[in-house]
Structure 1
Amino acid sequence: MSSSGRLIPFAYHDGATNMAIDEAIVSAVAGNAVPPTLRFYGWSRPTLSLGYFQAADEAGDWAGEPVDLVRRSTGGGAIMHHRELTYSLSLPLADTGPGARQAVYRSVHACVIDTLKGLGVTAAAYSDVPARAFRSETVIPSKESRAPSDGLLPSRKQPREPFLCFQRRTDEDLICSGYKILGSAQRRVRGGVLQHGSLLLQVSCHADVLPGVADLAEIEIDPIAISQSIADGIAETMTLDWQSGELSAAERDHSVSIRANRYAAADWTRRR
């Protein structure tokens, strides 16, 4: 028997608003004020989001007019949000241990794989892709470290991870034609979990080293159409019955407060 869930339609917002809405939703879901919620969104301006633990100084010339800068509440590398489809899934989860959270990763990413397969695009989890399938240029230095040296080895003993998330690899990341096209991150809260992630659709002029699905497969992709397909897959996998909905008044008010006090505040963005 399916449980009710809420599906919030695709919409564009600025970076601080997107992050604040995600946090307001997971708080409401964890408190049982609203049902499990899936949201799809875009970015009204190109935005570089820093991982929670990244130093703001690392942004270098990746951020700055016309690219906004925001810090996520989730970890990982920086993401250039531009021509992509972003999702967030907030679930009540009494067991927020690694096993339960890993199952959420795998379920959502499997639905994205199936959606892309329907478009004739083959994608797979990084852990399932033979090493020989990767292009030599998939892991590259960030802008500030391209010259005079490659910047990937600041010391002989401790290699540094690439700055951008899509230059990194974890087992659940999705790979297409040797390139990472989907990465996700989670944040645990008491009684729930937020998972949000980015599916690269097209290369951005602000991060021209990272091709998207449309570039790799040479097809056109409608973000709204594929978001519905992904939502259908998640509904089936997690036995949820999505009902189209909007933020509650309490969530809207909470997100405005969160935005002002955290994601739009310089002391949050520059805290590291």
Structure 2
Amino acid sequence: MLRPGKKIAIPLFSDHMRGASEQMGMDQSLLEGMATLSKDDKIFYSLLRTYRIAPGQVTVGRTYRGTPPEDWRVENGRWVVRPTGGGAVLHGQDLCFSLMMPIRPRMVLVDLYGFLHIFLGKFVGDLGIESSLGGKPERAHDGRGTCFSEPVCGDLISNSKKILGGAIRMGRSGFLYQGSLLVEGFSPLEIQDRFLSWYRGANRLFLHDGVLVCQ
């Protein structure tokens, strides 16, 4: 499936807006489908997906133990659980990223998390916004807060504010990263369109001998 020395480009799917439940289901279905195809066809499948979640909807990580803020006015008092971890996110102004593949990259997860955020930080830099990795160790948080108010190590920080957070999960179907980018002054659709152009330019992700690299 992965020949030694082969460098495989990870394609980008710039998807449209859906409800939170449907978007989480899409990530699960795509990952499971890739795992099946990669096994049956003996061809390696991977995908980087960007998408937007309908405004006013809330997602939480699968280990979340809190309650979203009352002023979020969660639709029907319900929220959707993400298959990965992390705090509560009120969607509408953020752009979501998902990276999936049927194998675990040959990288320590904390290094992989930081690598992905450095890569996305380069894109943020092209928007004219300075950022850097920051945050506290995950053990310093109790798993009850909101995503953008609790930066953990490897999150992207700009002007002392968290602008990108995410989570990684390894399951039977493979590797899944889910992240959320919130940049003031840019609409989610504008960020998505600009990322599409940026990624199709000279800024792609590859898997090389099981390790994620960027162009």
Q: TM-score, normalised by structure 1?
A: 0.61
Task: Tell me if structure 2 keeps the 8 A contact 1:113–1:123.
Answer: yes
In structure 2, the residue matched to 1:85 is 95
Q: Is 1:24–2:13 an aligned residue pair?
A: no
Given candidates 114, 123, 129, the residue that maps to 1:121 is 129
Q: Say if 1:48 and 1:82 are closer, same or farther in 2 by CA, change over 3 A.
A: same
Inter-CA distance 239–168: structure 2 relative to 1 (3 Å threshold): closer
The question of 1:10 aligning with 2:15 is answered yes
- How far does the alpha carbon of each residue in 1:52-72 deviate from its partner, in whole angstroms, 9 at most, with x for none? 12247x135234348862111
Deviation of residue 240 (structure 1)? 8.3
The alignment status of 1:59 with 2:68, answered yes or no, reads yes
Shift in Å, 1:8: 1.5
Provide the rounded CA distance (Å) in 2 between the counterparts of 1:103 and 1:60.
31
Matched, 1:235 2:201: no
Does the 8 Å contact 1:10/1:224 carry over to 2?
Answer: no
What do residues 193-248 of structure 1 show as CA deviations (whole Å, max 9, x unaligned)?
Answer: 100100003xxxxxxxxxx3x27xxxx9542112442565342584689xxxxxxx
Rounded Cα–Cα distance in structure 2 between residues aligned with 1:13 and 1:186: 22
* TM-superposed deviation, 1:159: 8.0
Alignment of 1:172-183 (within 5 A): 172-183=154-165
Matched residue SS, 1:13? coil
Which amino acid is 2:198 matched to?
S
2:17 partner letter = Y
Asked if 1:75 is matched to 2:80, the reply is: no
User: Compared with structure 1, are the counterparts of its residues 240 and 114 closer, same or farther at alpha carbon in structure 2 (3 Å cutoff)?
Assistant: closer
Structure 1, unmatched stretches of 5+, are 130-157, 202-211, 242-272
Greater mean alpha carbon deviation, residues 109-118 or residues 31-40: 31-40
State the number of aligned residues: 194
Rg bigger for which structure? 1
Q: 1:240 to 1:108 in 2, by over 3 A?
A: closer
Report SS of the residue matched to 1:59. Answer: coil
Aligned residues of 2:8 and 2:206 also touching (Cα < 8 A): no
Structure 2 unpaired stretches of 5+: 1-5
Deviation for aligned residue 1:12: 0.6
Structure 2 CA distance for partners of 1:102 and 1:64, relative to 1, 3 Å? closer
Q: Could you tell me how far apart the structure 1 residues matched to 2:141 and 2:115 are? A: 32
TM-score of the two chains, using structure 2 as the length reference: 0.75
Distance (whole Å) between structure 2 residues aligned to residue 95 and residue 239 of structure 1: 10
Structure 1: distance between partners of 2:30 and 2:141 = 37
Give the drift of 1:112. Answer: 1.3
Matching residue of 1:225? 194
Tell me which amino acid in the other structure corresponds to 1:192: G
Given that residues 48 and 67 in structure 1 are in contact (C-alpha distance below 8 angstroms), is that contact kept between their aligned partners in structure 2? no
Instruction: Kindly state the Cα deviation for residue 186 of structure 1 after the two structures are TM-superposed.
Output: 1.1
Per the alignment, residue 178 of structure 2 pairs with 196
Highest relative contact order (Cα 8 Å, sep 6+), 1 or 2?
Answer: 1
RMSD: 3.2
Amino acid at match of 2:146: L
Q: Match of 1:187?
A: 169
Report the identity percentage. 23
Higher helix share: 1
